[in-house]
Amino acid sequence: MKTIGLLGGMSWESTELYYRLINEETKRVLGGLHSAPVAMVSVDFHEIEQLQAQEDWDASARLLSEKARQVEAAGADLLLICTNTMHKVAGEVADAIGIPLLHIADATAMRVKASGIRTVGLLGTRFTMEQEFYRGRLEKSGLTVLVPDDEDRAFVNRTIYEELCLGRLNSASRQEFLRIIDGLHAKGAEGVIEGCTEIGLLVGQEHTDVPLFDTTRIHASRAVAEALK
């Protein structure tokens, strides 16, 4: 099995889930006492969040590229950036390393299309919901992407940074997420992408009949499949 490289810490709550999911999937596939070879560098999310707030993507790209090279130097054969939003600089990171970068939006689009769904809602940070680097990549794959209105996008973004990235799971926020998911479904979304790696900690498939696509789980599962090729 190839060594899976994780560029994590954005936030550590979701990176912890990545590690567990990758090893659970490895054990499911290989059985016995098998676990995944993993090389990880975890960043200080405070620094990343400050750069996001300033929309200083050049500095973000330099920082994550440096950390990605450290993951490669530790023996990784492929790289996962363990966050949706920072795929804003995925191209620069990919160019800085000599190993493949497994893009979370590509893995997600593949899973959505395999389900037969073509119109999908997207939840995430405001960058993920609004900007071309993620939403546009899904659309180029053949999906029609719907996002919430301005007020609901602001709520989702605020909840991610002020609650989920701090490990706070609020039942009232869950109900609001479910209302937003139902609204996207009413507008024609056949399913909804949880396009922030922390959202799945709050809202799971057990909470709604609308098909959900948890990008953390999809990305982790795809990494194991690629590592076993």
Domain match, 76 and 109 both: no
Domain match, 80 and 121 both: no
Domain match, 74 and 152 both: no
Domain match, 110 and 45 both: no
Q: What is the pLDDT of residues 152-200, one digit of tens each?
A: 999 999 999 999 999 999 999 999 999 999 999 999 999 999 999 999 9
Structural tokens at position 83: 């966050």
The residue to which tokens 């800085």 are assigned:
96
Residues of the chain with pLDDT > 90, as a percent, come to: 100
Domain match, 114 and 93 both: no
- For the residues of 112-146, what is the DSSP string, one character each? HHHTT--EEEEES-HHHHHSIIIIIHHHHTT-EEE
CATH number of domain containing 139: 3.40.50.1860
Give me the phi and psi of 95, to 5 degrees please: -70, -20
Domain match, 130 and 194 both: yes
Domain match, 205 and 223 both: no
d(CA 133, CA 114): 22
Expressed in angstroms, the distance from the first to the final Cα of the chain is 8
Domain match, 75 and 161 both: no
Predicted confidence at residue 96, as pLDDT, reads: 98
Domain match, 96 and 15 both: yes
Are the beta carbons of 22 and 220 closer than 8 angstroms?
Answer: yes
Residue range(s) defining the domain that contains residue 200: 105-214
Domain match, 119 and 165 both: yes
Domain match, 127 and 189 both: yes
Domain match, 53 and 78 both: yes
User: Which pTM does this prediction carry?
Assistant: 0.95
pLDDT in 10s for each residue of the chain, 229 residues = 999 999 999 999 999 999 999 999 999 999 999 999 999 999 999 999 999 999 999 999 999 999 999 999 999 999 999 999 999 999 999 999 999 999 999 999 999 999 999 999 999 999 999 999 999 999 999 999 999 999 999 999 999 999 999 999 999 999 999 999 999 999 999 999 999 999 999 999 999 999 999 999 999 999 999 999 9
Considering its fold, how many domains does the chain have in total? 2
107-128 burial, b at 16+ Cβ within 10 Å, e below that, comes to bbbebbeeeebeebbbbbbbbb
- The DSSP output letter for 101 is B
Q: Which residues are catalytic?
A: 83, 196
Nearest to 181 by CA among 160, 159, 207, 201: 207
